Amino acid sequence: MEKFLLKNIENPDSASLEEYQRVGGYKSLNKALQLEPSDIIAQVKAAGLRGRGGAGFPTGMKWDFASRDVKFPKYLICNADEGEPGTFKDRPILEKNPHLLIEGMAISAHALKSDRGYIYLRGEYPYARVVLEKAIEEAYAKGYLGDNIAGKGSGFHLSVHQGAGAYICGEETALIESIEGWRGQPRIKPPFPVNVGAWGMPTVVNNVETLANIPLIVAIGAEKYSAIGNPECPGPKLFSVSCCVETPGVYELPMGITLKEIIYDHAGGVRGGRKLKAVIPGGISAPVLPPDGVDCPMDFVNLPKRGSMLGSGAVMVFDDTVCMVKVCWRAMSFFEHESCGKCTPCREGTGWMRNILKRIEGGFGRDNDIELLQDISLSIIGKTFCPLGDGAAGVVLGFIKNFSDEFRYHITNKKCMVSKDL
């Protein structure tokens, strides 16, 4: 498939404006500025683009809500707080193709009649900040950002706001709190940010990859775009493949490609030809799939049918040398560390489960620990303030459902099922 999001990134100068323009960059912006904002929103709706951050909310609909709100100014925020273990799909765009994002944001801003945008960048991406800020400077110099974009009278100002390293700030309302200078914790919804967002104004928060898809939609039109991949959630998708594969990395592939194709055709198969044991298809919050799950198409429609989710499209592959109890414990350590502390079940439940998992992994598990873990998970699911806690509990339930033997072995034999010799 022809690459669009990662086009030209092998070129060492791909981040420069010159190089971006050389391969056709900013043409979509010029085209979009000729269009009525409502036409662009209609196109994005018709294209069927769904948010790439994890929830898969239809982007056009989100924009529509925001554009219907009569309050001004409106804010456009790019969510570049890519912080989930296994997820690094946005990084190549941020570091190698920043002008694609800027172009996407400028078009979106025109569509939303927003004159102020922020890129909320993950605290641990210092290099991306340097690249983005340089690219923004170049775009201002060329008139792609500023008071009068490309001489068309439409104004848009953009800057980078770097987070301080909290996963929760990837949740859009926590992100807005953080931008406003408060402690990053999710807000009560409703009202939704499209109506009451940053500083109380209508705000659209879109993922990097979502915004990077916009120039393509404008360039090729909604019809052609919706023909890419699964028609129910079309478009190119970035998959960050990691752990036990021969060639980990970020792959741009059509939505709906099977896990099997990603692992074996693109990522070089399981490391050392070993046996596949488990796959987490969408970042650490997505419940784990057993090996027979690899025939599942990777999209927002099919993965939920298998009890998992596409999430950010971060594929984590585990072979038979990996202990599932340990993976689960490590995952829970992440959730405990990143739980913001706002709501009781997530704050207390993640820490409790981490303790139990650590105990099982260390050979001190108790007879009813599995039931206890399941019970705690069920006490969390559906009762938390935001999806972080639900995700954490779902992960535990996923591991126990698919690998209960391994958990039980750990408890009974006080050691790991995976031989140290492997």
Residue 226 CB, nearest distance to other proteins (Å)?
29
Site for other proteins in 320-339 (CB under 8 A): 336-339
One of 261, 359, 374, 418 touching other proteins (CB under 8 A): 359
Token pair listed for 133: 């800020």
Name which of 55 and 150 has its Cβ closer to other proteins.
55
Q: Of the two residues 142 and 347, which places its CB atom closer to other proteins in the complex?
A: 347
**Binding residues for other proteins restricted to 141-200, rule: CB under 8 A:** 166, 183, 188
The only residue of 24, 73, 304, 341 in contact with other proteins, by rule CB under 8 A: 341
Q: Which residue has the tokens 């806690």?
A: 389
Size of the site for other proteins (CB under 8 A): 30
* Least distance from other proteins to the Cβ atom of residue 414, Å: 17
Binding of other proteins at residue 383 (CB under 8 A)?
A: yes
CB of 286 to other proteins, least distance (A): 20
Q: Is 367 in the site for other proteins (CB under 8 A)?
A: no
User: What CA–CA distance (Å, rounded) separates 321 from 278?
Assistant: 11
Q: Which is nearer to other proteins, 161 or 358 (CB)?
A: 358
Instruction: Supply 126's token pair.
Output: 């210092």
| Region 271-310 residues binding other proteins, contact defined as CB under 8 A | none
What whole-number distance in Å separates Cα of residue 319 and Cα of residue 94?
A: 31
Distance CA 193, CA 235 (A): 25
Interacting residue with other proteins among 342, 398, 400, 410 (CB under 8 A)? 342
Q: Are 304 and 401 in contact (CB under 8 A)?
A: no
In whole angstroms, give the CA distance from residue 134 to residue 48. 32
Q: Between the CA of residue 163 and those of 178, 181, 182, 383, what are the distances in Å?
A: 8, 10, 12, 27
Cβ proximity to other proteins, 246 vs 348, nearer residue? 348
If one asks whether residue 71 binds other proteins (CB under 8 A), the answer comes out as no
Using CA atoms, how far residue 288 sits from 65, 87, 166, 376, in Å, is 34, 15, 24, 18
Q: Site for other proteins (CB under 8 A): which residue of 71, 275, 366, 414?
A: 366
- Shortest separation between residue 50's beta carbon and other proteins, angstroms: 20
Beta-sheet pairing, 75-80 with 116-121: parallel
Instruction: Name the one range near other proteins by CB under 8 A: 54-62, 98-106, 223-231, 372-380.
Output: 372-380
Taking phi over 0 as left and psi of -120 to 50 as alpha, with beta for the rest, 379 belongs to alpha
What type of residue is 341? Answer: G
Tell me how far, at minimum, the Cβ of 347 lies from other proteins, in Å.
5
Q: Check residue 201 for interaction with other proteins (CB under 8 A).
A: no
Tell me the C-alpha distance between 41 and 62, whole Å: 10
Beta carbon of residue 211, minimum distance to other proteins (angstroms, whole number): 28
CA dihedral over 53, 57, 59, 62, signed as positive or negative: negative
> Hey, which residues between 36 and 65 contact other proteins (CB under 8 A)?
none
What is the Cβ-side half-sphere exposure of residue 227, based on CA atoms within 13 angstroms? 5
Q: Which of 104, 193, 297, 349 binds other proteins (CB under 8 A)?
A: 349
In 200-348 the beta strands, taken as DSSP E runs, fall at 203-207, 236-243, 249-254, 276-280, 314-319
> Closest distance between other proteins and the C-beta of residue 391, in Å?
14
Beta strands at 116-121 and 157-162: parallel, antiparallel or unpaired: parallel
**Residue numbers of the site for other proteins (CB under 8 A)?**
166, 183, 188, 336-345, 347-352, 355-356, 359, 366, 372, 376, 379, 382-385
